[in-house]
Amino acid sequence: MVAAASLVAAVGAVTGMMSAFGDGRPSDDAEPLVTRSPSLLLPPPDVPAPSPTPTSASPSPSKSAAVKRSPTPARSEPKQEAVAAPVRLYRHPESQVLDWVASHPGDSRRTVIESRIADRPAAVWFADFTPATITARVRAVTAGAVAEGRVPVVVPYAIPQRDCGGASQGGASDLAAYDGWIDNFAAGLGSDEVVVILEPDSIAQADCLSAGVRADRFASLARAGRVLKAANPKARVYYDAGHSGWKPAAAQAAFLKQAGAASAVSSDGIFTNVSNFHRTSAEIAYARQVLSALGGPASLGAVIDTSRNGNGAPADGEWCDPAGRKIGEAPTLNTGEARIDAYLWVKLPGESDGCKGTPGTFSADYAYELAR
């Protein structure tokens, strides 16, 4: 399928790590973390907070024209300006790439894969339908991020008929079951900042559904956004806008509006390019076109998956583990681009689309090819 974007996670596995945003600046986690455990739009995460800067000293007291000097006023202590701490994105300590790095100490590819992929924050996927455990598993990620003072990115991926029966098929049995799963997912979000990438492909790929089934899906997605944001008002929820090589912006915006993406009670905006390869510049232009057509509050923004778009998309449209690709801009929360909230690594480089291995499984060969 030319337009397919995801094929992103094996059923029953949490495959990714945590993600961030970037435009060529160093990553939040470009340097290894000290440990391997677990207000967007604050100062750039890759720049250490400067030491508080004193204000200028009081001017020297002026001399009187008279013979006597005016008394010298007492010197005031320099004032300290408050400096906000930089926001860092969370790198989850459990991922296939970290497992590979730990188990291959002598591999010649290890240094490149570790420094350019494993040490970067990326998204944590929840791809299996497990209502009984999903709250605890989400809470483990968000609590781990809070403990490190970082912002996690989580991906709920269990909508019924996801991927329209493709390689990443699966999800809940029906929308009633999905609604309950989302309730449980939301219960694990905590009360601190978290980015939610809501159901990749669920809107852009909805043409595979009948009109009635599609309308029901969109109603469930709108509900999901409301539930997530009600559970944690600091959660930022983004909806599926496909990518610049897929649907026209106006057509995608019409679907997004039906799914609740234009409402501030359910949405903070859109995401593009998840598991795909289109260049950041093309995605910025496309995201802005979609947002313009979508309408809604001016606060709505976009996040872009830059994990594998360093060389752009293949000319032949191949989307399944294509050769000649490379990692893109490092994850960061500071893009410097209007209405572009972040660049994220939603799809973890090296995890297969289904051609280098089972969807969602890690390929060291592919990771090395992307990273070097």
Q: Is 305 labeled as catalytic in the residue annotation? A: no
Q: Is 183 labeled as catalytic in the residue annotation? A: no
- 342 forms bridges with which residues in the sheet? 303
Residues whose CB is less than 8 angstroms from the CB of residue 274 and which lie 6 or more positions away in sequence, other chains included: 5, 6, 8, 197, 200, 201, 240, 243, 305, 346, 347
Q: Indicate if the alpha-carbon torsion angle 247, 251, 254, 258 is positive or negative.
A: negative
333: buried, middle or exposed (CB in 10 Å: 19+, 13-18, 0-12)?
buried
Structure tokens at 88: 């860092």
Candidates 163, 240, 305, 321; catalytic one: 163
Task: Round to whole Å and give the CA distance between 150 and 142.
Answer: 9
Candidates 29, 46, 119, 201; catalytic one: 201
Q: Is 353 labeled as catalytic in the residue annotation? A: yes
Structure tokens at 146: 């809070």
Candidates 128, 305, 341, 353; catalytic one: 353
Give the chain's length.
372
Structure-derived torsion over alpha carbons of residues 284, 289, 295, 299, reported in degrees to the nearest 10: 20
Asked whether 307 and 351 are in contact (CB, 8 A), the reply is: no
Q: What is the DSSP track for 245-301?
A: TSS-HHHHHHHHHHTTTT-TTT-SEEEE-TT----HHHHHHHHHHHHHHH-S-TT-E
Structure-derived torsion over alpha carbons of residues 348, 354, 357, 362, reported in degrees to the nearest 10: 10
* Gyration radius of the chain over CA positions: 23
- The catalytic residue positions are 163, 201, 353
